[in-house]
Structure 1
Amino acid sequence: MSGRQGGKLKPLKAPKKGPAAELDDDDKAALERRKADALEMKAAKEKAAKGGPPGGGIKKSSGKK
């Protein structure tokens, strides 16, 4: 006989959360730097999405003159 014979499996228990970790000055500075970088990247992506050729790119002609 096997150990488990069908049926719904129980979900794994999540580890208990311990007390909040104390952040020192270096950790705080790193978090602020990451947040600033993320904001800059978001702004750059928005600016790039707005851009593009003003005429809509190369237009395909029908070949008739």
Structure 2
Amino acid sequence: MPSGQGTGTNPIHNKKPKKEKKEEDEEDKAFKDKQAADKKARDEMAKKAGGKGPLGGGGIKKSGKK
């Protein structure tokens, strides 16, 4: 028996069928556009916040005990 015959290890016969490419409808296109706009807004906000230092640098907080 040739190697791989009947054992299910032959890669030629184990290929999965390709996924069919779905056509986008208007809702999908609008959703993707909204996600892209949200991501762009988040990136811009992170860039603005990244240039500043720490907020309210209070240092180590001490307890009220004496």
TM-score scaled by structure 2?
0.53
CA distance in 2, matches of 1:50, 1:21: 42
Percent identity for Structure 1 against Structure 2: 30
Q: Which runs of 5+ in 1 are unaligned?
A: 1-12, 59-65
Aligned length: 43
Aligned amino acid, residue 49 of structure 1 = G
Q: Which runs of 5+ in 2 are unaligned?
A: 1-13, 60-66
CA distance in 1, matches of 2:46, 2:25: 32
- Corresponding residue number in structure 1 for 2:49: 48
Displacement, 1:19? 2.0
Q: Deviations over 1:5-52 (max 9, x none)?
A: xxxxxxxx8854312111100110000000000000001001100012
TM-score scaled by structure 1?
0.53
Runs of 4+ in 1 over 2 A off after TM superposition: 13-17
Aligned amino acid, residue 17 of structure 1 = K
